Amino acid sequence: MNGLGIIRGLWVTFKHFILTYIEDIRAGKKRYYTQEGILARTRSDVRGAFTIQYPEEKYPVPEEFRYIPFLVYEEGENREKNYRCTSCGICAKVCPPQCIWIVRTTDPNTGKPIPAPAEFYIDVDICMNCGLCAEYCPFDAIKMDHDYEIASYNRFADHIFNKERLGKPLSYYAQIRPQNFAREEAARKAELEAKAARKPAAT
C-alpha cells in the first residue's frame, strides 16, 4: 500500500519521542544536572534523550583525552617549581606545525648550557593537539592537558603560553591521568633501582 513505508518509518520517530518522556518520569530529578544522569545518558543502553546540556553539564573525558600540552614540575621544599624539562628540544623537533619555542639556559659564568629551559613557549592557536610532544619526551616533562576551556578574546596576549602558564604540578598530572602516572612512576623506580644495583657492582 502506498504510504505504509512512511507510516512505519514515522513510528520509529514516535517511539523515540515517547521514550524520552517515559525515561524522564522514571528517573525523575536524577536524570539531568547530576553526574549519575550524565553517565546514564552516555552509556550505550541509553533510552530516550541522548544529549548533554553543555556548559551546565560536562561530558567526562577519558584518561587519554588530549588537549594543549603542559609542562610538569615537581614542587620543591620551598614550593619552588622544579621543571622536569631539560630543554633537550625533542618536542620542538617532533612537533608537526612547529609551535614550540624553547630558549636554553646558559651558565652566566662559563657560558655553558644548563639542562633547563629559560623560556618555553607554545603557540596554542597553532598547536593541533596531536600529542606527539608528550609521546616522545624522554623525561616525561610535557604532557597533554584535559582542560579544554581556554577560549579568550586576545590571540597574541593570551594564546601564546609561556613557561609560567604551561607549568602544572606533578600532583595535577597524577590526578588527571592516574594510570599513565602510575605506570611511569613504576618505570622510573625500576630504573633508579637498576642504577643503584649497578653502581656498587662497578666499584
Partner 1 sequence: MIVNLGPQHPSTHGVFRMVVVLDGETIVDLKPVFGYLHRNHEKIGERCTWLQIMPFTDRLDYISSMSNNFGYALAVERLMGIKPPERAEYIRVMMAELTRIVSHLVSIGFLLNDLGAYFTPVLYALEERELILDIFEAVSGSRMMCNYFRFGGVARDLPEGVLEKVKDLVFERLPRKIDELDRYLTRNEIVRVRTEGVGVLTAEQAIALSATGPVLRASGVPYDIRRADPYSIYDRFEFDVAVRYHGDVYDRYLLRLDEIRQSIRILKQVLKDLPEGPVQVGKPQWQVRVPAGESYGRVEGPKGELGYYIVSNGKPNPWRYHVRAPSFINLTSLAQMARGGKVADVVVILGSIDIVLGEVDR
**Where does this chain bind ligand SF4 (CB under 6 A)?**
69, 85-91, 95-97, 99-100, 102, 122, 127-133, 137, 139, 141-142
107 Cβ contact partners less than 8 Å away, ≥ 6 residues apart: 113, 114
Whose Cβ is closer to ligand SF4: residue 41's or residue 143's? 143
72: which strand partners? 168
Whose Cβ is closer to ligand SF4: residue 38's or residue 130's? 130
Subset of 179-198 contacting partner 1 (CB under 8 A): 179
What residue 113 binds from ligand SF4, partner 1, none (CB within 5 to 8 A, per partner kind)? none
Subset of 29-48 contacting partner 1 (CB under 8 A): 42, 44-45
User: What is the distance, to the nearest Å, from the Cα of residue 47 to the centroid of all Cα atoms in its chain?
Assistant: 30
Interatomic CA distance for residues 176 and 95, integer angstroms: 23
The answer to whether 166 touches 84, Cβ cutoff 8 Å, is no
Min CB(123)–ligand SF4 separation in Å: 9
Interatomic CA distance for residues 41 and 38, integer angstroms: 5
Which x/- pattern, by CB under 8 A, does the window 102-141 give for partner 1? --------------------------xxxxx--xx-----
The answer to whether 91 touches 137, Cβ cutoff 8 Å, is yes
